[in-house]
Amino acid sequence: MSGLSKTERAGCLTILRSLSKADLMSLNDTVTNKMIMVEDVTEAIEAILSFTKNAEELLRRKKVQRDLIFKYLAKEGVVMPPNSEKHQLVRRTLELWSRKVQNRSLQGQMDETRQRQATETPSDSPDLKAEGGFDPQVLGQQFCQWFFQLLNSQNPSLGQPPQDWGPQHFWPDVKLRLLSKAGSEQMDEFLGAELVGLRLQALTKEEHLILSPNLENHGLRTLVSPHGLVLVAVAGTIHRDLACLGIFEKIFGLIRSPLENNSWKIKFVNLKIRGQDALGGTEVAAPALSYNSSELQLLCR
């Protein structure tokens, strides 16, 4: 009897579909101890999933090669160092699936909170910090996972259909401040939902970058102002194909839109990019935020 959760089963299914027919037939014989005879790829995959005790067991099988797991993680927006060993990729994949299960539970809680808040008048909840069930750090994690998966899906090199990117995710007067340090320093500003959306999309769609956020405590911080602005600051690494090009720090200002079911929309974005040559040998595997709380508080005003 399979011990896979729905999330693990879906992930294993995706990975198995990238195996050749010969490897799938061989893997079926191994997993089922040749007890189940199958005639085609579909039957082989179903038998393998049904007889797998747990996800780690399947990922560690020889036929599930390191490169297949590496490519799967990349398509999920999780970029690992090119020299990662298979056991590191397996561990990261299991962490990803575990986090997805937690997020689905959290998303349900967030949806309930949002539905409740949609029925409240503005005077019922003047301060977000006072609302029951509202956790800014959870919102920050949820938002970053949603935003970077959406943005990375625009990158054609990942071979996945682009998700619904566009100006609808921004306030009409949104402002993007882009500071890049790669040899020389350059500052650009963009104003308006259309321009900001197009410039951010160009990072992945035209420049073929992948932005991988660090959602651990030292890489993610959220602040809430008394006026309803939620500040989400996140650090991460920038990749193109298998190469790590540098790190980024991104600060989002989020405000609810009362006309759109109180959904969160982006009011401003400050993006700082540092190339490898500007890092001076700094460790980039899981970059930490350089902004302190005082600097972030200033942006809340």
What is the model's pLDDT at position 225?
83
Which CA distances in Å does 204 have to 38, 75, 93, 140? 42, 13, 23, 22
Q: What's the CATH code, domain 126-300?
A: 3.10.450.50
In the predicted structure, residue 155 carries a pLDDT above the cut 80 = yes
Each as own residue / partner, the long-range contacts of residues 101-104 (CB below 8 Å, 24 or more positions apart, any chain) are 101/5, 101/7, 103/141, 103/142, 103/145, 104/7
Query: Which of these ranges, 91-105, 215-229, 237-251, has the smallest mean pLDDT?
Result: 91-105
265 CA to centre of own chain: 18
Mean pLDDT of 198-202: 94
Residue type at position 188: D
What is the model's pLDDT at position 174?
95
In the predicted structure, residue 48 carries a pLDDT above the cut 90 = yes
What residue has token string 């935020």? 289
What is the model's pLDDT at position 25?
95
Q: What is the mean pLDDT of the chain?
A: 82
Structure tokens at 254: 């989020």
Considering only CA atoms, which of 171, 193, 132 is closest in space to residue 265?
171
What is the model's pLDDT at position 114?
46
Percent of the chain's residues with pLDDT above 70: 81
Residue type at position 40: D
Nearest 5°: phi and psi at 285? -60, -45
What is the model's pLDDT at position 245?
87
DSSP state of 289: P
In the predicted structure, residue 190 carries a pLDDT above the cut 50 = yes
What residue has token string 């899906």? 153
Digit-coded pLDDT (tens) for 71-90: 898 888 777 877 889 999 99
Greater confidence (145 vs 82) lies with 145
What is the model's pLDDT at position 108?
52
In the predicted structure, residue 119 carries a pLDDT above the cut 50 = no
What is the model's pLDDT at position 131?
41
How does strand 220-224 pair with strand 184-191?
Answer: unpaired
Q: What distance in Å separates the CA atoms of residue 247 and residue 287, rounded to the nearest whole number?
A: 7
What is the model's pLDDT at position 106?
47
Q: Does the pTM of the predicted model rise above 0.85? A: no
Which CA distances in Å does 186 have to 95, 144, 158, 181, 276? 37, 25, 28, 7, 16
> 221 forms bridges with which residues in the sheet?
233
Residue type at position 18: S
Domain layout of the chain by residue ranges: 6-90, 126-300
Greater confidence (90 vs 111) lies with 90
Digit-coded pLDDT (tens) for 15-38: 999 999 999 999 999 999 999 899
What is the model's pLDDT at position 277?
64
What is the model's pLDDT at position 110?
47
What is the model's pLDDT at position 261?
73
Greater confidence (276 vs 53) lies with 53
Q: Are 17 and 45 in contact (CB under 8 A)?
A: yes
Structure tokens at 270: 């400050």
* pLDDT band at 299; cut points 50, 70, 90: low
What is the model's pLDDT at position 240?
86
Residue type at position 131: E
